[in-house]
A and B are shown apart, each in its own frame.
Chain A
Amino acid sequence: QSALTQPASVSGSPGQSITISCTGTSSDVGSYNLVSWYQQHPGKAPKLMIYEGSKRPSGVSNRFSGSKSGNTASLTISGLQAEDEADYYCFSYAGSKVFGGGTKLTVL
């Protein structure tokens, strides 16, 4: 059981927006803006999508955005595209360094 809680799955239609949550506690997610998000396609290594809660690395589409409210960090994907279908993981400090359990995004 991960110390960071993500929904197991989310889905959306092309063009829609979806949000994936990552819930921790006031001691980790709530105290620091150090959540990063990763996209992983089957058989591939994870790819950094968001760091420091809301910053995008060079080359990542501006359809991906990050935010935080209280003890929950969120990844929002707008204008959903077929290639966004993947697993998404959050990562933060929660006692130790830890990944969320992962969320499978299905594009309908």
Chain B
Amino acid sequence: QVQLQESGPGLVKPSGTLSLTCAVSGGSISSSNWWSWVRQPPGKGLEWIGEIFHSGSTNYNPSLRSRVTISVDKSKNQFSLKLSSVTAADTAVYYCARHDDLWNFFDYWGQGTLVTVSS
């Protein structure tokens, strides 16, 4: 059973950089899946942020592309998210998830972690 666990600071200052890591267990990050980040502002809907393949190939949401970097560490079986120049609008629960790119679905999700942008 694949499990994903997000970790990182729960509070980030405005204009700073949000950094999160997703540890994958029960499966290899070098599988044929892509690994994604999804966020959900309080009381609002889901937003796809971007994804990475174990080779390092990435795809990003066009609306966030200028501020997002997703990277992978195969030796630690984990991948990471960096979002720069954050504002209060970036306050959200951030989820990591495994994506089947062939049939376009997320089959495993982390529990989510709340990141608040505030001074």
* Interface set of A (CB-CB < 8 Å, partner B): 2, 32, 34-36, 38, 40, 45-48, 51-52, 57, 87, 89, 91-93, 95-102
Q: Are A57 and B107 in contact (CB under 8 A)?
A: yes
Q: Is the interface on chain B under 10, 10 to 19, 20 to 34, or 35 or more residues? A: 20 to 34
Could you list 11 examples of A-B contacts with CB < 8 Å?
Answer: A34-B104, A36-B103, A36-B106, A38-B46, A38-B106, A40-B46, A46-B95, A46-B109, A52-B103, A97-B51, A99-B38
Q: Are A102 and B48 in contact (CB under 8 A)?
A: no
**Majority secondary structure, A binding face:** strand
Residues of A within 8 A of B107 (CB): 48, 57
Residues of A within 8 A of B109 (CB): 45-47
CA distance A36 to B46 in the complex (A): 13
Given contacts A36-B103, A96-B61, A101-B45, 19 further A-B contacts (CB under 8 A): A34-B103, A35-B104, A36-B104, A36-B105, A38-B106, A40-B46, A46-B46, A46-B109, A47-B109, A52-B104, A89-B45, A91-B46, A92-B104, A96-B48, A97-B48, A97-B104, A98-B48, A99-B38, A100-B45
Q: Are B110 and A45 in contact (CB under 8 A)?
A: yes
* Interface set of B (CB-CB < 8 Å, partner A): 38, 45-48, 51, 59, 61-62, 95, 100, 103-107, 109-112
